[in-house]
Chains A and B, each alone.
Chain A
Amino acid sequence: MAAKLNDFYKQAAQEFGLAGRIKLAMLTKISSEKAEAAEDSPENIRIFEQALAQLRAGG
């Protein structure tokens, strides 16, 4: 289970609402449903960190 990846979705929802979740899915190319099944691998975590940073930067 990818607890950390789910945390990224929760973080995006808290900061940017539903649009933030959709944008995070678009940037990472991994929906929350697939994130739940994915591994918390260093590569996935790096992708989500970068995407969240991009959201915060207004991207």
Chain B
Amino acid sequence: MRISTKLILFFCGVVTLFVLLAVALLAQTRTVSAGYDALLARQVRQAEEARVIQVSFKKQVQEWKDILLRGHTPDDLVKYTRQFHDEETAVRSGAEALAAGMQDAKSRDLLEQFVAAHKTMGEKYQAAYDAYVANGFDFKVADKMVRGQDRAPTDLFDQVVKRLNDEVVASVAAQERAVGRARNLALALSGGLLAGLGLVGFVTVRAILQRLGRLKAVSDRLAKADIEGLSVDISGPDEIGQFGDSMKGVHAAIEELMRLASAAGQA
């Protein structure tokens, strides 16, 4: 193979390798990005929605306490009752929507339990509210009726939030492991390919330099007309082989010239 062809092939090999590495890295980046997008689109979003519902539930309980504390004033009673029901609706609809989109069966089951417990709690709060108003805003009566009633739904929802957070943490860890594996594979592949290409390049250049060295040695001896015992054994299909072939012609011509000169001298 000609040296120029070897060099072109080597250059093409390097360019192809780097293009392939760039494509592989791009594909890897897209895979990682898609993995995190999926994580954000479902698990992180659901965990965030759960936290919002959790806060709304705490606000609902807070509104109930405001009713008991300040409900003796008509304006405050209307205000805090409305806010209590707003939060109650937000919690109920949020929990139902979250349960509907939940893939994890255990979390879905906990949410359904929460919705049922929250509904029961709402009925008890309504009864306590009615008693509170009927008894001249006596908060003691109402508080006694619902004391501790928010404990069960709170515990259920805390379990949902914890489970969703744990799922996000586990998914992030799995994603990081996948990224690590892909990174190591990319490093090993690119390192191996670069090392292989470097080895091929080194071997090729060394072979060319060795043959050039032999060609120079022949050329030096021909330049000095030192052809005694000279053998031009440089062949091959490349430029160096062709040059060596030409040197054989020069060598033969000098030999012929020397023989003729010697014969002329003897005559």
Contacts and interface: CB of A to CB of B under 8 A. Distances in A.
Interface in A27-59: 27-34
B248 A21 contact: no
A23 B255 CA distance: 12
A22 to B, nearest CB: 5
B245 A25 contact: no
A17 B165 CA distance: 102
A34 B260 contact: no
A26 interface: yes
B252 interface: yes
Interface in B242-267: 245, 248-253, 255-257, 259-260
A29 B255 contact: no
B248 A31 contact: no
A18 interface: yes
B33 to A, nearest CB: 66
B250 A33 contact: no
By secondary structure, the A interface counts as helix
B250 A31 contact: no
Contacts of A26: 249-250, 252-253, 256
Interface residues of B, number: 12
Nearest to B257: A22
Contact of A28 (B250, B252, B259): B252
B226 to A, nearest CB: 16
Nearest to A33: B259
A31 B258 CA distance: 10
Contact of B253 (A22, A33, A34): A22
Contacts of B256: 21-22, 24-26, 31-33
Contacts of B259: 31-33
Contacts of B257: 22
B245 A33 contact: no
Interface in B30-60: none
A29 B232 CA distance: 10
Nearest to B260: A18
B255 A34 contact: yes
Nearest to A29: B248
Contact of A33 (B248, B249, B255): B255
A27 B253 CA distance: 9
8 A-B pairs closest in CB distance = A25-B256, A31-B255, A26-B253, A29-B248, A25-B252, A26-B249, A31-B256, A31-B252
Interface of A: 18, 21-34
Given A21-B260, A26-B249, 12 more contacts: A18-B260, A22-B256, A22-B257, A25-B256, A26-B250, A27-B249, A29-B251, A29-B252, A30-B252, A31-B253, A33-B256, A33-B259
29 contacts: A18-B260, A21-B256, A21-B260, A22-B253, A22-B256, A22-B257, A22-B260, A23-B253, A24-B256, A25-B252, A25-B256, A26-B249, A26-B250, A26-B256, A28-B252, A29-B248, A29-B249, A29-B251, A29-B252, A30-B252, A31-B253, A31-B255, A31-B256, A32-B256, A32-B259, A33-B255, A33-B259, A34-B252, A34-B255
